[in-house]
Amino acid sequence: MAEDNAKEQPIIIIKKVIGHAAHHGGAWKVAYADFVTAMMALFMVLWLLNSNRETQKAIGGYFMDPEGNGKLIGSNMSGSGGDALNLAAAEMEQLKEKIAQSLRESAKFQELQDKISMVVSGEGLRIELLESDVGTFFESGSPVPTEQATEILGRLAREVGQLPNKVSIEGHTDSKKFAGEYSNWELSADRANTARRIMQAHGVGLHQVAQVRGYADQSLRKKDHAEDPSNRRISIIVQHLTEAKKPADAAKKDANGAAKPEAHKKAGGTLGPPTATGPGSP
């Protein structure tokens, strides 16, 4: 009986199937790509930290405006690492805001903000420091600057000094007359020259100053109120870069080395109002 059961019992064969490892997908590739990206970003940051300020601004400007339509971006592409910012006419609004931000950092700006005017014009960015009855920026009747003038002009100089643009500085007075030989002509020219010295002491390059002019009362801010204190002002004009380069080509020469007649004609027609030197300001 036991022998019959043994014969009828089925034989069970167990086969072990050795398969391939489970499929893990491409998750490791994503992690590796993240790691490589992070390393690249780290090296870029380290490189930027060791670059000069102009290069940092140029690269930052690109990421803010990659299409190249914006402000305060670009360089002369020389690759030297000392590239100057290439400000064109359309970029003056950006420069205006940048200077305004720098001025806001001054402790005195709150009380002076209505005495500082910035306007973008055909010349470039015109920045004006407007006087008051008490002599905000210069002592009354004198070219001696006040503490406020030195601080504000110094801040302006540090911003403008980073640019390749030329700068013109103008002095203006009201129509009040001086007793004696000293006049508004001397006063306006002396104040403009004082502003030039302060700005050059705080960052504006010697090559940047294109003109220092005294207008006296010939270009009043308020023509209907010739004795208004705001007519007494200093104007700093940051010229458009394209226009700033034009004077270099003023005197063209012919093959014999002599200046062409038309070059002489152009050179003689660009003078501004007469300027004078001496102390003074109301």
Which regions in the chain score pLDDT beneath 50? 69-87, 243-282
What gap in Å lies between CA 204 and CA 55, rounded to an integer? 19
Of 119, 68, 128, nearest in space to 95 by CA: 119
Question: What is the reported pLDDT for 269?
Answer: 39
Residue 277 lies in a domain: no
Question: What is the reported pLDDT for 168?
Answer: 95
Same domain, yes or no: 169 and 241:
yes
DSSP 81: S
Same domain, yes or no: 78 and 95:
no
Same domain, yes or no: 70 and 128:
no
* CATH code for the domain of 135: 3.30.1330.60
Same domain, yes or no: 73 and 159:
no
Same domain, yes or no: 63 and 106:
no
Residue 274 lies in a domain: no
Residue 278 lies in a domain: no
Same domain, yes or no: 72 and 185:
no
Distances (CA, A) of 221 to 42, 174, 175, 224: 53, 9, 11, 9
Same domain, yes or no: 44 and 130:
no
**pTM of the shown model:** 0.55
Same domain, yes or no: 82 and 98:
no
Question: What is the reported pLDDT for 61?
Answer: 67
Residue 208 lies in a domain: yes
Question: What is the reported pLDDT for 44?
Answer: 85
Question: What is the reported pLDDT for 83?
Answer: 37
Residue 1 lies in a domain: no
Give the list of residues 6+ apart from residue 7 with CB closer than 8 angstroms, or none: none
Q: Is the dihedral of CA 103, 115, 122, 153 positive or negative?
A: negative
Structural domain harbouring 104: 89-267
Same domain, yes or no: 137 and 29:
no
Same domain, yes or no: 135 and 176:
yes
Same domain, yes or no: 33 and 173:
no
Same domain, yes or no: 209 and 242:
yes
Question: What is the reported pLDDT for 54?
Answer: 67
Counted domains in the chain: 2
Question: What is the reported pLDDT for 105?
Answer: 86
What gap in Å lies between CA 186 and CA 192, rounded to an integer? 10
Residue 61 lies in a domain: yes
